Structure 1
Amino acid sequence: MQTTTLSFANIHNHGELFANLFRARRASFIVQNKWNLPEALGMEYDQYDTPASRWVAVHQFGQVMAGIRLTPTTARCGVYSYMIRDAQKGLLDSIPHDLLYEAAPVDPNIWESSRVFVAHDTPQNIRRVVHAHLITEMTKAARELGAVRVLGLIPASWPRWARRCGLEAEAAGRVMEIDGIRNQVVSINLAEKMH
């Protein structure tokens, strides 16, 4: 099992991995969750998949088992910035605007994690290991990018696994139901792990 952080600058070094990550996202979000998202060539994508972002993939023999997208909170592309902030500004119909307790930050040391998934066909007996690899690589990549904090809109069950993964996390917004799933914005403190 491998973990790789992809960027527009290094995708040429990883063969089909970048495309396979977007194919796995399609399988997870469009096929499995039945979300109405953009797709092309069997891949899911949105306005936040820009050169400013990074993508973490857990993979084995070309199969993507899990993934996360990291986007700086300073990102700008047309009217869009990053998903949580744009939802708060009312630019996204699918996510409530009152998802945060405070104003969404714009700070080079804060990154957003989004499009978090573990592939549906990942065997149950290795799902925890895959998830641990995903979180470990996300934390490492975010720190290397200068992040001291990561914001993520994730399932509200996060307290069960955050400590197990060694994350110092706290609620940054209310619990909301989105497409039948209870979600919450969480703030992950990476400052303690910088040493």
Structure 2
Amino acid sequence: MQTTTLSFENIHHHGELFANLLRARHEWFIQHNHWDLPQALGMEFDQYDTPASRWVVVHDDDGQVLAGNRLTPTTAKCGIYTYMIRDAQRGLLDTIPSNLLYDKAPVCETVWESSRLFVSHHVPAARRRRVHGQLVFELARAARELGATNCLTLLAANWPRWASRVGVDMTAMGPVMDIDGVDNQVVSMNFAESLH
């Protein structure tokens, strides 16, 4: 099992890994979760997959994607869009309620957004915890390397059950909301204590 953080600067060194990540996202979010998202050539993408973002990928030696995540700076801007949580709060997204945060969405160099987090359903139950832990470990390492002290993410509201298992200090940043029949909540992951 390997972890790779992709960017537009290094994507050419990793062959089909980025395309495989977008294919795995298509399988998870469109085929498995039945979300209505943009797609082409069997890949899922959206307006936040820009050169400003990074993609954390857990994969095997053959490039099969086991888990993934996208990191986007809260300072990003592309046309009318910034980052998913802020754009939802601004009423730009139909699928996420605008009251998802207690306070105004931050725009700060040390705060990034973590989105499109998934573990492939092809990962056997006996390996899921390890794969998920590796994803979160690499997410934290990549975030720290980018100068982030915190990452905002919209997660299933059962996050308190597993946050301590993966060693991340998490704080609720908004109310629990039903989105497509699943309770979700915006959470801040604190990486400040790990910065040196």
Whether TM exceeds 0.5 here: the answer is: yes
What residue number does 1:36 align with?
A: 36
- One-letter identity of the residue aligned with 2:63: G
What residue number does 1:109 align with?
A: 110
Whole-Å Cα distance in 1 between the matches of residues 7 and 53 of structure 2?
A: 7
Q: 1:140: how far off?
A: 0.2
- One-letter identity of the residue aligned with 2:22: F
What residue number does 1:51 align with?
A: 51
Q: 1:180: how far off?
A: 1.3
Aligned length: 195
Whole-Å Cα distance in 1 between the matches of residues 162 and 14 of structure 2?
A: 30
- One-letter identity of the residue aligned with 2:102: Y
**Structure 2-normalised TM-score?**
0.99
For 1:177, what is the secondary structure of its paired residue?
A: strand
Identity fraction in percent: 66
What residue number does 1:62 align with?
A: 63
What are the ranges of 5 or more consecutive residues in structure 2 without an aligned counterpart? none
Deviation string 1:2-32 (CA, Å, 9 cap, x unpaired) is 0000001100000100000000000000000
Q: 1:161: how far off?
A: 1.0
For 2:162, what is the secondary structure of its paired residue?
A: helix
2:178 counterpart of 1:177: yes
For 1:131, what is the secondary structure of its paired residue?
A: helix
What residue number does 1:19 align with?
A: 19
What residue number does 1:194 align with?
A: 195
What are the ranges of 5 or more consecutive residues in structure 1 without an aligned counterpart? none
**Structure 1-normalised TM-score?**
0.99
Deviation string 1:102-123 (CA, Å, 9 cap, x unpaired) is 0000000000000000011111
Q: 1:194: how far off?
A: 0.9
Whole-Å Cα distance in 2 between the matches of residues 52 and 131 of structure 1?
A: 24
What residue number does 2:77 align with?
A: 76
For 2:113, what is the secondary structure of its paired residue?
A: strand
For 1:143, what is the secondary structure of its paired residue?
A: helix
Whole-Å Cα distance in 2 between the matches of residues 20 and 48 of structure 1?
A: 17
Whole-Å Cα distance in 2 between the matches of residues 84 and 114 of structure 1?
A: 9
What residue number does 2:145 align with?
A: 144
* C-alpha RMSD over aligned residues: 0.5
Whole-Å Cα distance in 2 between the matches of residues 71 and 186 of structure 1?
A: 15
What residue number does 1:162 align with?
A: 163
Deviation string 1:60-86 (CA, Å, 9 cap, x unpaired) is 021101000000000000000000000
For 1:37, what is the secondary structure of its paired residue?
A: coil
1:85-96 pair list within 5 angstroms: 85-96=86-97
1:121-136 pair list within 5 angstroms: 121-136=122-137
Whole-Å Cα distance in 2 between the matches of residues 152 and 66 of structure 1?
A: 16
